[in-house]
Amino acid sequence: MRRLFSILLFLPSLFAAAEDIKLSPAQALQAGILTATLAEQKSAASLRLPAQVVVPPAQIEVIAAAVPAMVAAVKVAYGETVKKGQPLLRLQGGTLLELQRDHLGASAQAQLAAENRRRDEALFADGIIAQSRLSATLAAERQAAALAAEKRRAMQLAGMVGPAKEVSGIAELRAPFDGVVLEANVQPGQRVDAMTPLLKLGRLAPLWLEIQAAPAQAAGIAAGDAVSIAGCTPSGRVTLIAPQMQAASQSLLIRAELRQPDGCIRPFQYVQAEIRSARKPDEKTWRLPAAALVRHEGKVWIFVEVAGGFRPVAVRLLDETPDTALLTADLAGETRFAVKGASTLKAAWLGLGGGN
């Protein structure tokens, strides 16, 4: 600190009226000023933005009660992983009894209609009955079979799998796919009406990242850009940049998809997403560390290395995060700038640190 203070005391008289900051390499080193080329920053350009993990709507399924019933047992809880065919809930009620009774009756009628058809086919072959009699028997069989299929489907929708062999009034709802329980809205003993949502299941691959970005930030992002999350080996891709602003946050929604998350992120988790553009960066546009920027007289400046010191150069700021800033400047890629120590150079530039 004593060395830095002596440098600042010495410099104001030299550049109080000059644009360039005269500083030898030895003085820059003592002041902790480090430089890098703009080209190095362009090659490493990326943007970090907040995101939330969501399950795509196409991968969510609601398990509901098809008929009024009582929840006799709940066999899974929120957050549990389930396998296809695994029992989730057991329901019982009078309407389930009626469904089983109707299916048994319709099945018996279908069997009787099939027997009548076989009998009439034999009689028609022997010339005993007319064609019209056989046609009526065939039509009756088709109607009975359709009614039995309807009653069987009604039972399946209610959670009763397979043909009814007895009247029990009990249905067991099973998982339609491998997934995780996203919501569990019922308790044992609860009475539910028809179409009451009971559970919500979701598949966990792929997952979406819903990223919030300012319009200036979204301007540098395109579909296909790579998206990565700390701790996740597989990376994702940007799939959507919403055309409209979100009213509450005044930000744009950017959606990315991780096809194989492999358990490294979880639904509804908040994360930091790093977006790396798949396109070649625009000429004269750079993403620099935020610490390399200073502000003065309503403008944003960086300090460019020149012979004998540094020169403040005004730049146009496109967007800024806590760590980086996207800017445009009429500078060559090989230009070196102060990546560390910009505040020291600003103090020297403005003549701070000592009196005249």
Is the pLDDT reported for residue 309 higher than 70?
yes
Say how far residue 50 (Cα) sits from the centre of its chain.
12
163 versus 236: which is more confidently predicted? 236
Burial of 97 per CB tally in 10 Å (0-12, 13-18, 19+): middle
1 versus 333: which is more confidently predicted? 333
Is the pLDDT reported for residue 277 higher than 80?
no
- Classified as helix, coil or strand, 32 is coil
Q: pLDDT band at residue 73, thresholds of 50, 70 and 90? A: very high
Query: How confident is the model at residue 12, as a pLDDT?
Result: 41
Query: How confident is the model at residue 162, as a pLDDT?
Result: 59
- Using CA atoms, how far apart are residues 186 and 63, in angstroms rounded to an integer? 11
Among residues 45, 25, 20, 166, the alpha carbon closest in space to that of 97 is found at 166
Instruction: Write down all domains in the chain, each with its CATH number in brackets.
Output: 2-45+282-349 (2.40.420.20), 48-55+204-276 (2.40.30.170), 60-88+169-202 (2.40.50.100), 94-168 (1.10.287)
- Using CA atoms, how far apart are residues 213 and 218, in angstroms rounded to an integer? 6
Is the pLDDT reported for residue 75 higher than 90?
yes
Q: pLDDT band at residue 312, thresholds of 50, 70 and 90? A: very high
Least confident span in 5-19, 207-221, 225-239: 5-19
Whether the CB-CB separation of 251 and 229 falls below 8 Å is answered with no
* Residue 254 φ then ψ, to 5°: -115, 130
Write the CB contacts of 106 (distance below 8 Å, at least 6 apart in sequence). Answer: 144, 147, 148, 150, 151, 152
Region 181-197 average pLDDT:
91
Q: Give the CA distances from residue 93 to residues 65, 97, 101, 176, 186, in Å, rounded to whole numbers and listed in that order.
A: 11, 7, 13, 23, 16
Q: Is the peptide bond before 206 cis (omega within 30 degrees of 0)?
A: yes
Q: Please name the helix (run of DSSP H) or strand (run of DSSP E) that holds residue 52, with its range, or none.
A: strand 47-54
Q: Scan for tokens 């999350």, then name that residue.
A: 229
Is the pLDDT reported for residue 273 higher than 70?
yes
- Using CA atoms, how far apart are residues 340 and 33, in angstroms rounded to an integer? 5
Is the pLDDT reported for residue 8 higher than 60?
no
Q: Please name the helix (run of DSSP H) or strand (run of DSSP E) that holds residue 185, with its range, or none.
A: none
